[in-house]
Chains A and B, each alone.
Chain A
Amino acid sequence: MSENHLPIGSTNLDIFSKTLMELAEQDRDVLVVTSDSRGSGKLTPFGEKFPGQIVEIGIAEQNLVGVSAGLASYGKKVFAVSPASFLTARALEQIKNDVAYSNRPVKVIGISAGVSYGSLGSTHHSLHDFSVLQAINNIDIVAPADNFETVQAIRAAVHHPRPIYIRFGKKPMPDLHAPGTHFEIGKAIQLTPQSNHYDVAFIASGETVFRAYLASQALAEKGITCCVLSLHSIRPFDEDAVLHAAVNSKVVVTVEEHCVNGGLGSRVASFLMQAGVFRPLRIVGIPDEHTVTGSQVEIFQHYSISQQGLSQTALHLLEKESVS
């Protein structure tokens, strides 16, 4: 498989639960709230080690978020952990009113995000979360690309002054970052060397980033230069980084594990248009259709969210660009 070019790390899910154990050890106010999701969240060891710092709600996601907001009002550092699909659909009103609007800094953790659940189908996919949460004021949105970004995002979340939503999947992720890389919520990380002349800008988030990175390497062999941005924060949106990438590139390809409507790509496109930067642009994601049945990888391949698919998308865009 194409992942072989990069060193494979753990799953972001495992890294999340490990990091949470460290945080809970240091701070007794760190709480985890679950909805029959402790197994899926790899939090069984957490529950055994810190029985006083885990609150089980049962299969009741609305209650999960409401209770979390109440706990947060007492200064508890609350991680509300449940599948991204149920958290951001069923409990959306609790996120909107009890968390975001009332400014209770709950850390809403969407596990098995995007199409991680594969052939379990649409009830279990979260292809709407970037979109709905972007339309709600006062909640930051983060999709870490690898283990490093996950650790950093979880650590940063503890003292984050605002509500925050962090989502990730359950497949092992390759390590993308050199040691010592700076991470800050709201600041994109560029994976390729800085330059003022790229052919292609890949702007990606979450578990699609390494696929964009591999595509950039394949394109480099053809003499095509790329800028690859890990835009882990959909909000705060890093305007400077996106502007730099787009202005210095001929074409822009955005990539996300999300519906093509209302997600990262839409955000990038509307920002660039309004900034007066016009580049041929493709939004790669899950199209607005009944999602094909398959594993996460099969779904990605079906919709060209793969090294090959992304390389081809970029090449087509470049060809069109050179013709016009």
Chain B
Amino acid sequence: MNSSPLESIPVGREKIRLLESKSILHRRALLKMIYTARAGHTGGSLSCVDILNVLYNHVMNITPENFSELNRDHYIHSKGHSVEALYAVLADKGFFPFEALDSVETYGSYFIGHPTRRVPGIEQNTGALGHGLSFAVGMALAAKMNGRNDRIFTIMGDGELAEGSIWEASASAANYRLDNLVAIVDRNTLQISGRTENVMAMEPLDEKFSAFGFAVREVDGNSISDLIGVFENLPFEEGKPNLILARTIKGKGISFIEDQVQWHHHVPTDAEFDTAMLELDEAEKALGD
């Protein structure tokens, strides 16, 4: 499970297919988690899980073996409510057994509804939005101070971008020329109350982040091959922090969950869960051999 030879497979059709199949596994695991716990953030976990998959299984130098070391890549889950996606990817990576996830959100469990450092593989406690980027700036700056080029990755929600602290962090990332910082926006266009553009208009996001000094790239954040492609070009520009606008679909992968505002924290019923699992079986078959 954890000693997958994925890293050693050259990028190509086979690797993409393997990662796509992992995404399906992650989706199954996270839905089961939410279904079992009767709680969770379904839509946002499904929208960012492909990015996490590519980061952990292709891009970042983070393993259960090197996790206790400082000199490696780092990941901060700024949109902490989508913890189920992170739990699924970390379990698959071998940080803890999948069975541990049966206890998510139960009495006395360390697996709560947001990331905490009590869980192996998690680097920082998050859940209040708008904190991850500042923390990542601090890590990226410290790595540079130590003469290291460890890369710091973080995923933020698009609704989260309304927090002023994001823009304070952005200014400091550019000021300190942190080209080892990779900020990713899960641009699923939804938050709790509706469309992000109706709740608080933030477009044009690319121009805003560019103006703050980021090198900005856009990508289909649910396409494994597109994601692999964009991360290949890091850093996008020397001396500039990296910003990836990942166009995603909230609830991606399950037809009746996709792009539905109420699925932010809706929990599947028995019937919905069964249908979702069937859809994932179909998706698995469609991958072919």
Q: Residues of A with Cβ closer than 8 Å to B?
A: 34, 36-40, 56-60, 62-63, 85-86, 89-90, 118-124, 292-295, 298, 302
Contact = CB atoms under 8 A, between A and B. Distances in A.
Given A59-B162, A124-B127, A119 B106 contact: yes
A116 B268 CA distance: 22
Give the interface size bracket for B toward A.
Answer: 20 to 34
Given A58-B162, A60-B200, A123-B128, A39 B192 contact: yes
A121 B199 contact: no
B128 A90 contact: yes
Q: What is the interface of chain B mostly: helix, strand, loop, or mixed?
A: loop
A59 B130 contact: yes
A317 B116 CA distance: 37
Closest 3 interchain pairs by CB?
Answer: A58-B200, A123-B127, A58-B162
A292 B113 CA distance: 13
A294 B111 CA distance: 10
Contacts of A294: 106-108
B112 A39 contact: no
Interface string B110-126: 11111010000000011
Nearest to A121: B112
Contacts of B39: 119
Given A36-B191, A120-B113, A121-B114, A63 B106 contact: no
Interface string B236-279: 00000000000000000000000000000000000000000000
A320 to B, nearest CB: 30
A56 B39 CA distance: 26
Interface in B91-108: 105-108
B193 A56 contact: yes
Given A39-B193, A60-B200, A119 B112 contact: yes
Contacts of B37: 119
B163 interface: yes
A59 B191 contact: yes
Nearest to B198: A56
Given A36-B159, A36-B192, A120 B112 contact: yes
B80 interface: yes
A60 B163 contact: yes
Contacts of A39: 192-193
Contacts of B130: 59
B126 A123 contact: yes
B112 A59 contact: no
Given A34-B193, A36-B193, A119-B105, 19 more contacts: A36-B191, A37-B193, A38-B193, A39-B193, A57-B200, A59-B159, A60-B164, A60-B200, A63-B162, A89-B128, A119-B109, A120-B112, A120-B127, A121-B116, A122-B127, A292-B108, A293-B109, A293-B110, A294-B108
A118 B265 CA distance: 15
Q: Which of A63, A121, A295, A298 has the most CB of B within 10 A?
A: A121
B57 to A, nearest CB: 27
Contacts of B191: 36, 59
A90 B39 CA distance: 25
A37 B200 CA distance: 13
Contacts of A38: 193
Contact of A86 (B113, B128, B162): B128
B113 A119 contact: yes
B129 interface: yes
Contacts of B108: 292-294
A40 B159 contact: no
B133 to A, nearest CB: 14
Nearest to A83: B128
10 contacts: A56-B199, A59-B159, A59-B160, A62-B164, A119-B37, A121-B113, A123-B114, A292-B107, A293-B111, A294-B106
A299 to B, nearest CB: 9
B279 to A, nearest CB: 27
Contacts of B113: 119-121
Contacts of A118: 105
Contacts of B162: 36, 57-60, 63
B194 to A, nearest CB: 9
B107 A293 contact: yes
Nearest to A117: B113
A57 B39 CA distance: 27
Contacts of B200: 56-60
A51 to B, nearest CB: 12
Contacts of B109: 119, 293
